[in-house]
Copies of this chain bind each other. A is one copy, B any other.
Amino acid sequence: MQRYFVSKSNWSNDEKVTITGNDVHHITRVMRMDVGDKLICNHPDGRAATCIIDQLVNDSIIVSPIEWRNEVVELPINVTIAQGLPKGDKMDLILQKGTELGAFAFIPFQAERSVVKWDQKKIAKKLERFNKITKEASEQSHRTHIPPVESIYSFKQLLDCSEKYDVKLFAYEEEARSDSFRRLSDVLNEIEPTQRILACIGPEGGYTIDEVDALKLAGFHSVRLGPRILRTETAPLYLLSSISYHFEELR
């Protein structure tokens, strides 16, 4: 069944839901649904209900919740991916796949070796597109939460905001070659449900020595993601998959 995220103001006491915006086009034109058809509406608080279409108005659709769904599709821990700005359209891939794999939020940051520098004028437009990608990927993967994509942080802003997190990690390519790495499983074993994790991924060229020192000083643990060298866009997918496996599939 197709799934749509509906903002809080469009829910009238959980009895009527009004769908507006681009979703109206998707429901009537792409999915060709009509009165009496069913779809799933996600409430921003994480709940979801199967709904039936009551009425098609010009630019909105009125639906009624007929059953609240009992779903556990969100990771038991909150993982925010801080991604050093990568080249080209790799950020799109990270956002789409990272959302499917359960990320809680994304923070793109300007790393010293990030080749791209984002034009201030284009940031608003890019963020709009990024948040559209995570919304669509949430719907497609049947999630109940849409991971927000923050505006671009400087490295200093990233360090400052890291204080809000319970556990801080960074994937460090050099760890893959050393014997002194901290095992990812040792880190994950210490995490309690509902804790907030900030996982930092370097850009294509990796971190500079100064960045590594600053991350360690700020309390980030370096981890390796297997013994092979991963591209910057593959690293967050490995990390999120392993976290899902550890908390959702392992026993």
Contacts and interface: CB of A to CB of B under 8 A. Distances in A.
Interface string A149-166: 000000000000000000
Interface in A139-177: 140-143
Interface string A220-251: 00001111111100100110011011101111
A183 interface: yes
Nearest to A226: B244
A105 interface: no
B237 A242 contact: no
Contacts of A183: 249-251
Contact of A248 (B93, B100, B226, B234): B226
A16 B248 CA distance: 51
A93 B90 CA distance: 12
A111 interface: no
Nearest to A73: B227
A136 to B, nearest CB: 11
Nearest to A185: B250
A72 B227 CA distance: 7
Contacts of A230: 100-101, 141
A102 interface: yes
A140 B249 contact: no
Given A241-B241, A242-B249, A245-B245, A228 B185 contact: no
Nearest to A224: B249
B237 A241 contact: yes
Nearest to A247: B226
A243 to B, nearest CB: 9
Interface of A: 72-73, 93, 97, 100-102, 140-143, 183-186, 224-231, 234, 237-238, 241-242, 244-246, 248-251
26 contacts: A73-B228, A97-B237, A100-B231, A100-B234, A101-B230, A102-B226, A140-B231, A141-B229, A183-B249, A183-B250, A185-B245, A185-B251, A224-B249, A225-B244, A225-B249, A226-B245, A226-B248, A226-B249, A227-B248, A228-B244, A237-B237, A237-B238, A241-B242, A241-B245, A245-B246, A250-B250
